[in-house]
């Protein structure tokens, strides 16, 4: 088995169009939530979202690519370019066959589907572009990353709703651990702030409708939360075998030491109430690392700001960690970046790794009155400076799917 | 705008090339980097713009910018 390390990071988020800006705003407690600008949401219950702002795809893509790819692929290609720069990775002919791409994407080109379907109904089937299907399929994110940098290894997208990005990181890690490839580009991407997504989530009563106070709308673990905020973006990691990283003298951010995946086997959208599915995913990740629950000092929670998630996740943490649960520094990035759906596990893995690397844990915004049952240390409002050794990152998705990945502070 | 200018503008937009690069004799595939999907979409964009129908057999014969200009002039 190979040891696997993180040697590159990149992010495009509602609080920054690159890694440094996103991370520093996260530590400062900046909210990326505001009125929806992408479409006229006059009739919609929810009129706010966490949009990526002032992103110019032309900075990273050829004009033809900008036109023929959906926004989620713009983010994926742009983040990949920043990732390789951060990792100082030179892809030669030997590496290209040993470099794969597994990224998560929950829905893919929903905006494209909606646009083309409108055109189909108005103008008929002959007016549908040959680029409609390639533009909308979710796995085009991995395909375009590969094409843009000549990564010829395994290439796919994981689609497990809001756990897509997390599962991608987990299975990318496993590929390297098993020795199948030398390095993987992984993480998650999503861009679906569209009429269909907002109305669909609204119908489920899943989204916050605190339209008059957007920056206070995402409040994980708080008693007054009323749903999540739809977000978008991309978070990527370069994972590499330790041997490969040492050979090329790469900067090592952290080691990946465990991955757990599980299913609630219970309900389409509601997590199982005792949190046992979430607990199983976390437990498996910790078991794979061969450490004890009491070694874990940080959890980057799924923390969506929905009542069901926050309660069940808290129960799962208490079930697994017992009294130690109260000693763990927990945070919910979604309080600032919203719920970036399939990108969440990628973006939040990036932030978990930075927490380990820099010894800084972002706070959870808007946690004014914690729910009675949510009585753990969620680092309300302010970031905490503390050297930590193990960071667990959680993502859970519709369908009852769960994922948890464990990062360790790197020591040779 | 003349048919020539309009065609060049559509080609530039569809294929992501600058108008200066486009000459009447430019071949879409060999000179301007189009693939088969680009060609289909280019034909559709010209149909939309000039309100003509270009059937598949005819579309196969349109290989250069001048071919497109000639077809449109003859059919509008």
pLDDT in tens, A20-33: 999 999 999 999 99
Instruction: Give dist(CA A245, CA A183) in Å, integer.
Output: 9
pLDDT for B1 equals 87
Check if A339 is active-site.
Answer: yes
CA distance, residue A137 to nearest chain B CA (Å) = 16
Write the CA distances from A153 to A77, A101, A105, A147, integer angstroms: 17, 7, 19, 11
A118 and A233 in a single domain? The answer is yes
Handedness of CA A89, A90, A96, A101 (dihedral sign): positive
CB B59 within 8 Å of CB B34: no
> Residues with Cβ < 8 Å from B25, sequence gap 6 or more?
B64, B65, B66
A363 and A315 in a single domain? The answer is yes
Average pLDDT over residues A174-182: 98
In a domain, A254, yes or no: no
A92 and A224 in a single domain? The answer is yes
Subunit contact A64:B44, Cβ cutoff 8 A: no
CA distance, residue A67 to nearest chain B CA (Å) = 8
A297 and A223 in a single domain? The answer is no
For residue A173, what are its two tokens?
């890690």
The beta-carbon neighbor of B37 closest among A62, A66, A130 is A130
The beta-carbon neighbor of B41 closest among A62, A66, A129 is A129
CATH of the domain at A123: 3.40.47.10
Instruction: Give dist(CA A260, CA A31) in Å, integer.
Output: 30
For an interface test with B, the pick among A58, A127, A130, A131 (most B C-beta atoms closer than 10 Å) comes out as A130
In a domain, A291, yes or no: yes
pLDDT of chain B along its 76 residues, tens only?
A: 899 999 999 999 999 999 999 999 999 999 999 999 999 999 999 999 999 999 999 999 999 999 999 999 999 8
Domain boundary among A221, A247, A273: A247
Q: Which residues of A touch B36 (CB under 8 A)?
A: 130
Task: Tally the C-alpha atoms within 13 A of residue A195's C-alpha that lie toward its C-beta.
Answer: 11
Percent above pLDDT 70 for chain A: 100
Say whether residue B41 is in contact with chain A using an 8 A CB cutoff.
yes
A294 and A399 in a single domain? The answer is yes
Subunit contact A65:B41, Cβ cutoff 8 A: no
A207 and A344 in a single domain? The answer is no
pLDDT for B8 equals 97
Residue A51 pLDDT more than 90? yes
Q: Which of B13, B20, B31, B35 is catalytic?
A: B35
Q: Which residues of A touch B15 (CB under 8 A)?
A: 64
- The full set of domain ranges for chain B reads 3-75
CA distance, residue A129 to nearest chain B CA (Å) = 6
A43 and A163 in a single domain? The answer is yes
Subunit contact B16:A65, Cβ cutoff 8 A: yes
Subunit contact A131:B41, Cβ cutoff 8 A: yes
pLDDT for A253 equals 98
Domain count, chain A: 2
The beta-carbon neighbor of B16 closest among A67, A127, A134 is A67
pLDDT digits (tens, 9 = 90+) for A265-315: 999 999 999 999 999 999 999 999 999 999 999 999 999 999 999 999 999
Position A412 confidence tier, pLDDT thresholds 50, 70, 90:
confident
For residue A205, what are its two tokens?
């009563």
3-class DSSP state of B76:
coil
A271 and A242 in a single domain? The answer is no
A200 and A317 in a single domain? The answer is no
A102 and A199 in a single domain? The answer is yes
Instruction: Give dist(CA A280, CA B69) in Å, integer.
Output: 65
* Interface A-B: count of C-beta contacts within 8 A: 22
Subunit contact B44:A134, Cβ cutoff 8 A: no
- Give the count of beta carbons closer than 10 Å to the beta carbon of residue A268: 7
pLDDT digits (tens, 9 = 90+) for A133-165: 999 999 999 999 999 999 999 999 999 999 999
Structural domain for A401, as ranges: 259-408
pLDDT for B76 equals 86
Say whether residue B16 is in contact with chain A using an 8 A CB cutoff.
yes
Say whether residue B29 is in contact with chain A using an 8 A CB cutoff.
no
Residue A243 pLDDT more than 90? yes
CA distance, residue B3 to nearest chain A CA (Å) = 22
Residue A66 pLDDT more than 90? yes
Say whether residue B15 is in contact with chain A using an 8 A CB cutoff.
yes
pLDDT digits (tens, 9 = 90+) for A302-358: 999 999 999 999 999 999 999 999 999 999 999 999 999 999 999 999 999 999 999
Q: Which of A73, A105, A162, A379 is catalytic?
A: A162
In a domain, A253, yes or no: no
Subunit contact A129:B44, Cβ cutoff 8 A: yes
The beta-carbon neighbor of B16 closest among A64, A130, A131 is A64
Domain boundary among A203, A220, A247: A247
CATH no. for B3-75: 1.10.1200.10
A157 and A193 in a single domain? The answer is yes
CA distance, residue B56 to nearest chain A CA (Å) = 12
Q: Which residues of A touch B (CB under 8 A)?
A: 62-67, 127, 129-131, 134
Say whether residue B48 is in contact with chain A using an 8 A CB cutoff.
yes
C-alpha angle with apex A227: A316 to A384, nearest 5 degrees?
60
Instruction: Give dist(CA A320, CA A189) in Å, integer.
Output: 30
pLDDT for A213 equals 98
A269 and A318 in a single domain? The answer is yes
φ/ψ (deg, to 5) at A77: -70, -45
B47: closest chain A residue by CA: A127
In a domain, A93, yes or no: yes
Check if B35 is active-site.
Answer: yes
For residue B32, what are its two tokens?
């301007």
Q: Which of A234, A298, A302, A379 is catalytic?
A: A302
Domain boundary among A247, A277, A300: A247
CB A193 within 8 Å of CB A230: yes
Instruction: Give dist(CA B63, CA B34) in Å, integer.
Output: 10
pLDDT digits (tens, 9 = 90+) for A195-226: 999 999 999 999 999 999 999 999 999 999 99
């Amino acid at each position: 088995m190979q040891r696997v390390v993180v040697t590159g990071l990149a992010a495009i988020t509602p609080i920054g169009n690159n890694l440094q800006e996103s991370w520093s705003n996260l530590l400062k407690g900046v909210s990326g939530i505001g009125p929806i600008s992408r479409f006229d949401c006059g009739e919609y219950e929810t009129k706010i979202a966490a949009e990526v702002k002032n992103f110019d795809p032309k900075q990273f893509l050829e004009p033809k690519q900008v036109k023929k790819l959906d926004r989620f692929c713009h983010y994926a290609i742009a983040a990949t370019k920043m990732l390789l720069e951060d990792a100082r990775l030179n892809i030669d002919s030997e590496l290209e066959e040993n470099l794969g791409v597994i990224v998560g994407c929950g829905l893919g080109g929903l905006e494209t589907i909606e646009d083309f379907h409108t055109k189909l109904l108005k103008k008929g089937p002959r007016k549908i572009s040959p680029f409609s299907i390639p533009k909308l399929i979710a796995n085009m994110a991995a395909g375009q990353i590969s094409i843009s940098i000549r990564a010829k290894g395994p290439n796919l997208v994981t689609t497990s709703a809001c756990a897509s990005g997390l599962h991608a990181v987990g299975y990318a890690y496993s590929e390297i651990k098993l020795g199948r490839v030398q390095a993987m580009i992984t993480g998650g991407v999503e861009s679906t702030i569209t009429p269909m997504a907002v109305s669909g989530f609204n119908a489920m009563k899943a989204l916050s409708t605190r339209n008059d106070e957007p920056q206070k709308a995402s409040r994980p673990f708080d008693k007054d939360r009323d749903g999540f905020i739809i977000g978008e973006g991309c978070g990527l990691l370069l994972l590499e075998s330790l041997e490969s990283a040492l050979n090329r003298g790469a900067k090592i951010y952290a080691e990946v030491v465990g991955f757990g995946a599980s299913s609630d086997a219970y309900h389409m959208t509601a997590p199982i109430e005792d949190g046992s599915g979430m607990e199983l995913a976390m437990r498996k990740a910790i078991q794979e690392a061969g450490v004890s629950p009491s070694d874990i000092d940080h959890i980057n929670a799924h923390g969506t700001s929905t009542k069901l998630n926050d309660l069940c996740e808290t129960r799962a943490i208490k079930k697994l960690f017992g009294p130690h649960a109260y000693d763990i520094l927990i945070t919910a990035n979604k309080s600032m970046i919203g719920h970036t759906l399939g990108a969440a596990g990628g973006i939040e893995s990036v932030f978990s790794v930075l927490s380990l690397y820099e010894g800084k844990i972002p706070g959870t915004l808007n946690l004014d009155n914690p729910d009675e049952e949510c009585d753990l240390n969620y680092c309300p409002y302010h970031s905490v400076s503390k050297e930590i050794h193990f960071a667990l990152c959680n993502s859970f998705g519709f369908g009852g799917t769960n994922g948890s990945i464990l990062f360790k502070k790197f020591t040779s | 705008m003349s048919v020539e200018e309009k065609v060049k503008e559509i080609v530039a937009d569809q294929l992501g090339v600058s108008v200066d690069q486009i000459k009447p004799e430019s071949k879409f595939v060999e000179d301007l980097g189009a693939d088969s999907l680009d060609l289909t979409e280019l034909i559709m964009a010209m149909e939309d713009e000039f309100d003509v129908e270009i059937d598949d057999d005819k579309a196969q014969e349109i290989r250069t910018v001048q071919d497109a200009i000639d077809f449109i002039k003859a059919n509008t």
